[in-house]
Amino acid sequence: MKKLLLILLATLCILGTQTRRANADPIPDYNVTLNYEPGYVYTLGSYTYSDPSQGYTETVSALANDGDPSVEAYGSSPVEGINSGYGFYDTAALGYYLLVVGGTPGANVGLVLNASSTDSILNLGTPNYNTTVDSSFEVWQGGYSPLFQETGDANSGGFTVSNYNLSVKSGDLITVDLNTNMTLADQGSADATVDPTFTLAPGYAAQGYSLMYSSGLAPGSPSPTPEPCTILLVGLGSAACLARRRLMGR
């Protein structure tokens, strides 16, 4: 009878654990696309391509420094009419996710956003063969409208965001999209960057909240706590062993 009870409890526990894991929404990995002359790159890093015969250089990068991701598309050329007048085009795009964990699930939590972008074209020759730069930055949390959106180009010179307050829900995924594009077909250089940072608003860390990022962008998820059924099974197993020893001792 005791064995049957243990088997029944273990089965219910496993089914419950599988259901919880199936319904869980772990934070997804980042996705990155770095396009430069030889092709596409889908990993974080900085990649440079140069053509000595034309004298130009292209660099694309998507970097992460302890949860502070940034992207850049850069090109330079010492001559006019590079690449037979066609020039080159580069893009650096990075999408990743944030998750507020701890505290009260579903509660509103304040985040502070700071971001900078540079969109510059320097030392152009004449004529200008459609040399352009642009950048964009979006933050989403479900729905069809972004929580925050900003764009920049050569006319604006980029953008700066200082201490912008966001309200998000604990446990809901936040999507962050960074994009930069650069086209250079003339003498000079073109550079586009986006670099945002997110921090908890004052007071929330003391309430037990913290930020998680997509794997590879910041330290991993918090240490998991034991499943309640695991604790129950350990206790039942110990009790069964004790009962068996008592029976054998009679």
pLDDT tens-digit profile of 76-128?
887 665 554 556 789 999 999 999 999 999 999 999 999 999 999 887 665 55
pLDDT of residue 242 exceeding 70: no
The domain limits of the chain are: 28-95+114-158+173-193
User: What's the average model confidence in pLDDT over 21-36?
Assistant: 73
Spatial contact of 236 and 148, defined as CB atoms under 8 Å apart: no
State the chain's mean pLDDT as an integer.
Answer: 78
Amino acid present at 137? F
d(CA 142, CA 175): 8
Which pTM value belongs to this model? Answer: 0.75
* Residue partners of 89: CB distance under 8 A and separation at least 6: 35, 181, 182, 183
* Per-residue confidence (pLDDT) for residue 219, from 0 to 100: 52
DSSP 2: H
Q: What is the pLDDT of residue 147?
A: 94
Bigger pLDDT: 212 vs 7: 212
pLDDT digit string, tens, across residues 143-169: 777 999 999 998 999 999 999 999 999
How many C-beta atoms surround the C-beta of residue 157 within 10 A? 14
CA dihedral 45, 177, 106, 202 (to 10 degrees): 70
